[in-house]
Amino acid sequence: MKHKSSVFCIIMMLSVFALLFAGCGSGGAEEPGGGTIAPGTPTPAGTKGPNTPGQSEALEDVNYITSLDAAAMAYAEAVKLYDDAVLWSMINGIGTALHYDWTNTDSCHSWTVDFVSPKAGKLIYVYIFGNEISRTLVDDKNNFTLDQSLPKDRPLMSMAEAAKEVIENGGITGLIPVNAGYEVSGYYDNDFPYWGFTYRVPLGNGEYERHFYYVNAATGKFAEVKYRNNDNDTISQENLVVKGTDLSHMAWMQDQDLTLKKFLTLINEGKTEDAIGMMDDAAAPDKNSRDMWADSFDSIRGVKFVLTGFSETDEENWTDEIQRYKVKMQVPESGDYQQFGWEPGENTRFFTLMKYGGEWKIHEISTGF
C-alpha cells in the first residue's frame, strides 16, 4: 500500500470539527484584533440556553463511516456505472481520518474504494468523505485476475476485525496507522485477499521505523509482519530501535493534529469530561471554568459543521513543546450557537497545543494570534 501523509494540510469534510465552540481559551473576552474567548459566554436574555428542553440529545456518528458501510455505499455508486462492478481495494484517506478508537468502532472519516468491471476492463474509484460520496473516477484496467467467488460489495472481514487479529498476534497498540487498506489481489508473492496496516514508529529527528502488518482476509488469520527502516531497508525484529508493542507513550510523537481531532471527536460524541481532560490548567484552571466548558460543549453536541481547512500555522514560533494549528469551519446559516461566539458561514479558530512530558494538551483556543 502506498504511504499517505497528512502534516501540513488536511482538507476534509469532517463534521466532528463541528465542535469548535467559540467558547474556548485561557481567559479574556475577544478584542477586535482577535484573541482568546472566555469559556462560558453568558446567554443573552430571551435566547435559548444550552440545555433548552427539546434540544436533540441524539449523538451523531460525526460523519465517520465503518469499512463495511463505506464499501456498501461505494458499491451502490459503482454499479450505476458498470453493473458487473466488483470490489478490488479500499484504503483510508489519511491516517488522521481514522477514528481515535478505530480498532473498536471500525470507523474512518474518508475512504477510497475501488471496483473493477471485468466486462468493460475499467477501474472505478469511489471517494467517500464522511457519509457522502465526494466524487467518482474511471480508468482503464486490463490484464487482471479476479476470484469470482469473492463478494462484490464488501471485504471479507471488517477493518476492525482485521486490526484485532493483528493486536492479538503482537501488533502495535497506542499508535494510529498511517495506512489501513484491503485488497483482493494480494501482496508481494501472496495472492490472497488481505488487510494491511502500516505504522510509522517515530525515532526522532524525522526518522522512523515502519511496521507492516498483514491479515489473510480469506482465513481471517494473521499472516505476517515486516519491518523497514527510514531508508526503506528491510530490518529484523531483533534490530528494531523501538522495542515492545504498546507504544501509547509515543502517541504524542505522531502528528499533533491527532490530539486535536480526538479532542473534537470526544465532544461531538458527548464525552464532555474526557474532552475537558485533554485541556491543560491554563485553558480550564478550576471547577467553574470546567463547568462552563461542559455547558458550551454540551450545547453543540450533535450540531454539524463542515471543516474547510486544517493546517499548521505560525510555524516560525513552534518549539518542541508548543505548536499551533489553524482550523476553518463552515457553520450552518441557522442554529443556537451565536451566544457562544459563532457566526453563520466560515469561522476560523487557532488551537495551541502544549506538550507536558509525553502528552499533548489543548492549551488555548482563540480567534487570532
Using one digit for the tens of pLDDT, what is the confidence trace for 254-282?
656 678 778 877 877 778 899 899 999 99
H helices present in the chain, as ranges: 67-81, 102-105, 159-168, 257-268, 272-276, 287-299
Are residues 216 and 81 both part of a single domain? yes
Residue at a domain's end among 235, 267, 287: 235
Are residues 90 and 218 both part of a single domain? yes
Intra-chain end-to-end CA distance of the chain, in Å: 39
Query: If you count them, how many residues does the chain have?
Result: 369
- CA gap 158, 161 in Å, rounded: 5
Are residues 274 and 332 both part of a single domain? yes
| pLDDT at res. 151 | 96
Are residues 71 and 207 both part of a single domain? yes
Question: If you compute the radius of gyration of the chain from its CA atoms, what whole number of angstroms results?
Answer: 22
| pLDDT at res. 132 | 87
- Residue ranges, the chain, pLDDT below 50: 1-61
The answer to whether residue 74 sits within a structural domain is yes
Task: Kindly report whether the global pTM for this prediction surpasses the value 0.85.
Answer: no
Are residues 130 and 192 both part of a single domain? yes
| pLDDT at res. 302 | 56
Are residues 144 and 225 both part of a single domain? yes
| pLDDT at res. 28 | 29
Are residues 76 and 188 both part of a single domain? yes
Residue at a domain's end among 235, 263, 284: 235
Are residues 178 and 211 both part of a single domain? yes
Using one digit for the tens of pLDDT, what is the confidence trace for 5-24?
332 233 233 333 333 333 33
Question: Per the structure, how many domains does the chain have?
Answer: 2
The answer to whether residue 241 sits within a structural domain is no
The answer to whether residue 2 sits within a structural domain is no
Give the distance from CA 310 to its chain's centroid.
Answer: 12
The answer to whether residue 155 sits within a structural domain is yes
Cell numbers that stand for 194 in this block: 488481505
Range of the domain at 198: 65-235
Q: Are the beta carbons of 227 and 236 closer than 8 angstroms?
A: yes
Amino acid identity for residue 113 in this structure: V
| pLDDT at res. 226 | 95
| pLDDT at res. 326 | 79
